A and B are shown apart, each in its own frame.
Chain A
Amino acid sequence: MKSLKPITRIAVGLSALALISAYFVPLWQILMWAPQYPEGLEMKIWINTLTGDVRTISALNHYIGMKTIEVSMFPEFGYMIYLVGAIIGIGLLAAITNKRFMLLAYLSVILLAGVGALVDFYLWGYDYGHNLNPEAPIKIEGMSYQPPLIGTKVLLNFTAFSGPDIGGWIFIGIGVLLGGLVFYEWRKSK
């Protein structure tokens, strides 16, 4: 089995260490603006919690029958700390074992985690936007309120934006970096 180039090995090790930041910075953000909220409202998704104007957002959304957003709604917050821990472990293992297939495994896990997170977020958003309280004061025929997966969407008087926060960008950056490293390793070895 082939070993990694020294520079790759260092980069892989450092990237795994950089992922530790996921425990200290928000991963994802949802921003909202409305005519009466020119200053905007934000919700930050962390590895194990939510912060920002969550209460205000829930108070507004209850008019159209959306659920109150609470940390307990998300089982993800229970296991994400272990999931990210495992990814960091695999990354460090790749650096220690110095094997090319471990680099591949590390990249695959990161890509899987990214895709999985988006799918999971989409499913939650679908339920949150469609599964509305039938007793809601405001019911507009044909309207559903699924938040955007990534990007911007107008929902009634709100413009909502969804996208990565610092932690998410670090993940994306590491994904790009690992892709580059794989490309570099295989080209060099030809």
Chain B
Amino acid sequence: MKSVVLLLGVASAFMFYSCKPKGPQSAIVGDAASKVYVAPGKYDEFYNIVSGGFNGQMSVYGIPSGRLFKILPVFSVFPESGYGYSEETKPMLNTSHGFVPWDDLHHIALSVTKGEHDGRWAFGNANNTPRVARINLKTFKTEEILELPNSGGNHSSPFITENSEYIVAGTRFSVPVGDKRDVPISTYKENFKGTISFIKIDPITGRMNIGFQLRTPGVNFDLSRAGKGPSHGWFFFSCYNTEQAYTLLEVNATQKDKDFIMAVNWKKAEEYIAQGKGEKVKAKYAHNLLDEGTHMATSEMMTEVLQLDPTILKDIIYFIPCPKSPHGCDTDPTGEYIVASGKLAAIIPVFSFTKIQAAIAAKDFEGEFAGIPVIKYESALHGEVKRPGLGPLHTEFDEKGNAYTSFFVSSEIVKWNVKSLEVLDRVPTYYSIGHLCVPGGPTSKPHGKYVIAYNKITKDRYLPTGPELTQSAQLYDISGDKMQLLLDFPTTGEPHYAEAIPASLIAPNSTKIFKIEENNHPYVARGEKESKVVRKGNEVHVYMTAIRSHLTPDNIEGIKMGDVVYFHVTNLEQDWDVPHGFAVKGAANAEILIMPGETQTLKWTPDEVGVVPFYCTDFCSALHQEMQGYARVSPAGSNVPLKFSTGVVEETGSK
């Protein structure tokens, strides 16, 4: 009897312990490996352009293999290539605060034509010191960075309109703007303002300028998407902190049941501007541009910006109530539905563009917020996805009318039908997904096939590397009814949003070399005969060439203490994948990498008398190790003449 009771106790204890949830071991079904295997010599189907988050860069992966191809420097210095260290690239990181070596890049927008990927440019935002950048997808180089005035942080950016007319930038932090900026923080409600910038994109060159800024009430703008198809001409932003809290936002900005989706009629704003109703406001912001001909960036300080006040100019902005601190704000491929994810909400509201228009026409408003009409929730609502999961963040779409929403708290992707709002499938992610990406997901014509999860927590997914871990991403096949986990791959930086685009739209156009005859750099040496060393006061300019396997000149004398030396190195190669690198011993600088046909400049201030070696840092040829030279540094006031050569052997060396 006693033993029976004891046995029961042991058995029940055992049952208690076997309740541990199922691990991911059981998650792989079928032949996942062959679906992500890209055989040697074969190519991936998609480019995945991924934001680097706190590394300030973008990275380029192949899908479905998950292989990393490139870290593409944008807002942060990158000593590996000399970005932000070479004289040519330093102006790219100039701002109204001077040279800023770092930022936090959150979102990617790829250029579109008629709502579809055109493979021309990628845009990225700087969240910290508000900027947007444009990357040329032929060269994979950052060509342009534009600072945003009257902004306290640029998060809801750089989302793009249907024909790349505009990318946008909204203020993550509202701040006091204009002349009255030294105010108590507690006067948030009266003095703090937000702005939404519409950045015009030149359809041919891609060059950016701020078309106009909308002044908005002081709230936090989070994310945004342009309308498309029927809703083209409109833009939708999520905003939180409509409580207008300025401290402990964790509590104070989460009190209201509903914040807002802000609908912006930017065509209307354009009409007002055409009528001359914009107001030119003084501002200071940097506009940095890379000239492909000279391979040099220049920075221009801009002085004014055109603003519109939507509280006076009616019909530009409307608010739509949205449950609990909306984060993602995504328009479906048809342009009819706007999916808003309240990150603390237990439902996902889906708004209808047709209903929003009807509500505006019928003035179906529940009131005003800071002088802006607020549309009634029910009047704008298509419907709610009930009990989808916990902590909805972002939504992407496939080509079959389905939506894929990421859930941070319940760590899963949930597939649901946009029209019927019915939940169709769910898969776990590892762990706590942030953004997600379906190839072409934000466009009018999604390519579908995969969904990629970019997670915020890595933990035990890979071999541990101390407290700081790589980031974790998963690839799922979405071609069938059920989502299938295929691959778990590490990512660098901290990816937020990413886009994937068919390789066929980019690979054929990829630049292989820069033509040397088109190099208009002011210090170019288009051949070894043009190489020289020129003194201008205490500046010494070395017009240097690099070709397998020597630098010209490789012996330089006559540099003196107190001089500043500029090595302008032109790579004379016109052959694919033969970059040269250049570094100088003791230089308080990085290396520079010079692509074929390009000129890059390394600045060096000698700090001691002696002979200083320099060499090629990119393994270029069989005799790469021979690609080196010497610079002689003499004391200040020395009479050593300026002299340079390559391949000249002097019998009596000493002088």
Q: Which residues of A contact B (CB under 8 A)?
A: 33-36, 38-40, 135, 137-141, 151-152, 156-157, 159, 161, 163-164, 169, 172-173, 176-177, 179-180, 183
Residues of B within 8 Å of A161, CB to CB, are 16, 19
In the complex, the chain B residue whose C-beta lies closest to that of A168 is B13
A137: which B residues are within 8 A, CB to CB? 250-251, 254, 344
**Can you add 9 more A-B contacts, CB < 8 Å, to A38-B431, A164-B13?**
A35-B429, A35-B432, A137-B250, A137-B344, A159-B21, A169-B13, A176-B9, A180-B1, A180-B2
B254 touches A176 (CB 8 A): no
Is B255 touching A35 in the complex (CB atoms < 8 A)?
no
* Contact assessment for A163 and B13 in the assembled complex, using a CB-CB cutoff below 8 Å: yes
A137 and B460 CA atoms in complex are apart in Å by: 29
Known: A135-B255, A140-B346, A157-B409. A33 touches B20 (CB 8 A): yes
- Contact between A157 and B410, CB atoms less than 8 A apart: yes
- Whether A40 contacts B20 by the Cβ 8 Å rule is yes
Q: Which of B437-494 contact A (CB under 8 A)?
A: 457, 459-460
| A36 to B19 CA separation, bound complex (whole angstroms) | 17
With both beta carbons as reference points, the residue of chain A lying nearest to B407 in the complex is identified as: A157
Are A38 and B6 closer than 8 Å at their CB atoms? no
**Are B390's CB and A156's CB within 8 A?**
yes
- State the CA gap A27–B393 with chains docked (Å): 41
Measured CA separation A183–B459 after assembly (Å)? 53
B409 & A156 in contact (Cβ 8 Å cutoff): yes
Contact A177 B2 (CB under 8 A): yes
User: Which B residue sits closest to A163, measured CB to CB?
Assistant: B16
In the complex, are the beta carbons of B6 and A35 less than 8 A apart?
no
B255: nearest chain-A partner, CB-CB: A135
Report the separation of the CA atoms of residues A33 and B20 in the bound assembly, to the nearest whole angstrom. 7
Interface residues of B (CB under 8 A from A): 1-2, 5-6, 9, 13, 16, 19-21, 23-24, 250-251, 254-255, 344, 346, 390, 409-412, 428-432, 457, 459-460
Q: List 6 A-B contacts (CB under 8 A).
A: A35-B430, A137-B250, A138-B344, A156-B409, A157-B410, A164-B13
Closest A residue by C-beta to B16: A163
Whether the Cβ atoms of B250 and A157 lie closer than 8 Å is no
Q: How far is the CA of A34 from the CA of B5 in the complex (A)?
A: 33
Q: Which residue of chain B lies nearest to A172 when distances are taken between CB atoms in the complex? A: B9
Q: In whole angstroms, how far apart are the Cα atoms of A164 and B457 in the complex? A: 31
**Shortest beta-carbon distance from A3 to chain B in Å:** 22
Q: Say what secondary structure dominates the interface of chain B.
A: loop
Q: Which chain B residues border A151 with CB–CB below 8 Å? A: 16
Question: Which residue on chain A has the smallest CB distance to residue B8?
Answer: A176
Contacts of B5 in A (CB 8 A): 176, 179-180
Report the separation of the CA atoms of residues A180 and B24 in the bound assembly, to the nearest whole angstrom.
Answer: 45
Docked Cα-Cα span, A163 to B19, in Å, equals: 12
Expressed in whole angstroms, the Cα–Cα distance for A33 and B24 within the complex equals: 14
Nearest chain B CB to A45 CB, angstrom units: 15
**Nearest neighbor of B251 in chain A, beta-carbon distance:** A135
| A38 and B390 form a contact (CB under 8 A) | no
Check if A36 sits within 8 Å of B411, measured CB to CB.
Answer: yes
Residue of chain B at shortest CB distance from A35: B411
Q: Which of A159, A177, A183 contacts B19 (CB 8 A)?
A: A159
B251 neighbours in A (Cβ, 8 Å): 135, 137
Chain B residue contacts of A139, Cβ below 8 A: 344
Complex-state Cα separation, A151 to B15, whole angstroms: 9
CA distance A180 to B2 in the complex (A): 6
A173: chain B residues at CB < 8 Å are 6, 9
> Given the known A-B contacts A138-B344, A157-B390, are A39 and B20 also in contact in the complex, defined by CB atoms under 8 Å?
no
Shortest C-beta distance, B527 to chain A (Å), equals 60
Kindly name the residue among A36, A163, A180 whose own CB sees the greatest number of chain B CB atoms within 10 A: A36
Tell me the smallest distance from the CB of B26 to a CB of chain A, in Å: 13
Closest 4 CB pairs of A and B: A35-B411, A36-B431, A137-B254, A180-B2
User: Residue of A at shortest CB range from B9?
Assistant: A172
Q: Is the CB of A39 within 8 A of B19?
A: no
Q: Are B410 and A35 in contact (CB under 8 A)?
A: yes
| Whole-angstrom CA separation of A114 from B250 in the bound complex | 41
The answer, among B1, B20, B457, for a CB contact under 8 Å with A36, is B457
**Closest B residue to A161 using CB positions:** B19
Q: With a CB–CB cut-off of 8 A, which chain A residues contact B23?
A: 38
Chain B residues near A33: list those with CB within 8 A: 20-21
A169 to B5, CA, bound (A): 13
Closest residue of B by beta carbon distance from A141? B346
* Residues in chain B near residue A152, CB distance under 8 A: 16, 19
**Which chain A residues lie closer than 8 Å to B459 at the CB level?**
36, 38-39
- Kindly state the separation between the CA atoms of A51 and B381 in the bound complex, as whole angstroms: 48
User: Inside 8 A of B16's CB, which chain A residues have their CB?
Assistant: 151-152, 161, 163
Selected contact of B431 from candidates A35, A140, A164, A177, CB within 8 Å: A35
**B411 and A157 contact, CB distance less than 8 A:** yes
Cα distance, A156 to B390, chains bound together (Å)? 8
CB distance from A125 to the nearest CB of B (A): 17
Cα(A70)–Cα(B538), bound, Å: 69
Bound-complex Cα distance A189 to B459 (A): 63
Q: Which residues of A contact B19 (CB under 8 A)?
A: 152, 159, 161
Quote the shortest CB–CB distance from A21 to chain B (angstroms): 17
Question: How far, in Å, is A66 (CB) from chain B's closest CB?
Answer: 14
Docked Cα-Cα span, A177 to B5, in Å, equals 10
Chain B residues contacting A179 (CB-CB under 8 Å) are: 5
C-alpha spacing A137/B248, complex, angstroms = 11
How far is A91 from B642 in the complex, measured between Cα atoms in Å? Answer: 102
In the complex, which residues of chain A have a beta carbon less than 8 angstroms from the beta carbon of B428?
35
